[in-house]
Amino acid sequence: MTAGIQVAAVDGIVRKGINCHTNADITFLWNGALIDVQCKRPQTEKALEERVREAYRQITKPKRQGRLGIIAVDCSAFIRPVGKLLGKGSGRDAEYFLSNCIAKQVIPKVKEMLRNPILGFILFARAPHMALIRESPLVSQRGEHFRYYRPESISTFLVINNPSFSVPNVLQFICKHLSI
């Protein structure tokens, strides 16, 4: 049990003492029910929809006997500018930028998959960031102040619940307790 979540299986390997058959990336127990999580990491925005459809097909296979599922998508590879750091001043600004990118680029493309048996999505992104920590009173020959930066790793996640389910908010619980 980790952070109040009882993991039943990882990559199809079932924990001792648990009776289930699963090929999900992660299966956990929630209020006595098994819930499967399919994780995807599309490398391009173009691949996003196909990878989400693949996760949906995996969760809706008949042999799963109608178990509920969650689709987790790491959007890091296509959200941030390729080969660049986020330079948004503060970590808060960088996190807002990542969240906004997910909201604009990802949510409209995955919303259609919010149907049974999908409980919802966990959308995640991480990017390197250079935070401005101070500006020197010293001025360069070009009249610019010297700036000092600190490297950081910024991450954010957005949760999209399926409004068809009255299940207690399992997605927020998972994210909160695992501190993604």
CA dihedral 87, 92, 97, 102 (to 10 degrees): 140
Percent of the chain with pLDDT over 70: 87
Asked if pLDDT for residue 180 goes beyond 50, the answer is no
- pLDDT for the residue 168: 54
Which stretch of 11-15, 26-30, 80-84, 157-161 has the lowest confidence by average pLDDT? 80-84
Lookup: tokens for 26: 């992660």
Domain boundaries defined on the chain: 6-127+155-178
Confidence of residue 125 (pLDDT cuts 50, 70, 90): very high
Confidence of residue 62 (pLDDT cuts 50, 70, 90): confident
- The pLDDT tens digits of the residues spanning 110-124 come to 988 888 889 999 999
pTM score, two decimals?
0.84
Least Cα distance to 170 among 95, 90, 83, 70 occurs for 70
- The pLDDT tens digits of the residues spanning 34-51 come to 899 999 999 998 999 999
- pLDDT for the residue 167: 61
The pairing of beta strand 145-161 with beta strand 68-74: unpaired
Asked if pLDDT for residue 145 goes beyond 80, the answer is no
| Three-state DSSP state, 150 | strand
C-alpha separations of 106 from 74, 157, 158, 160 in Å: 11, 12, 10, 11
**Mean pLDDT for the chain?**
83
